[in-house]
Amino acid sequence: MIEYKAKKLFNGHVSVRDYIVNKAIRSRKYLRIQFEGEYMTLTTEKLKESVNTFHKQEFKSAFNNKTYTLYDFVWRPDGSEEEEKGEEVFNDEQLELFKLF
């Protein structure tokens, strides 16, 4: 599982850099996003299906001058009502199993 800590939400969306999403897809690992003590877990299939690029422009890193784009996901923390309406729900036991992969 790949862990990512988000610093902010924008209009109910969390933005993740393209190389983090692509790494999760390539390695077939789940992406677990943390924001203010809550978590949202995205399967590889969900990453492939629900990647919505709101930012068509490329951004430059302030540290190494590399460029990246942002993928935006609707913020639906694990166990929330919105998440339960159609997204997969994982309990702590299942999440522990995912760490083995």
* Tokens 């590399």 belong to residue: 66
* Tokens 């166990």 belong to residue: 79
pLDDT digits (tens, 9 = 90+) for 27-38: 999 999 999 999
Cα 66 to Cα 58: distance, rounded to the nearest angstrom: 10
Sort 11 into a burial class: Cβ within 10 Å, 0-12 / 13-18 / 19+.
exposed
pLDDT digits (tens, 9 = 90+) for 12-26: 889 899 899 989 999
The answer to whether the CB of 14 falls within 8 A of the CB of 4 is no
> What contacts 84, CB < 8 A, 6 or more positions away?
none
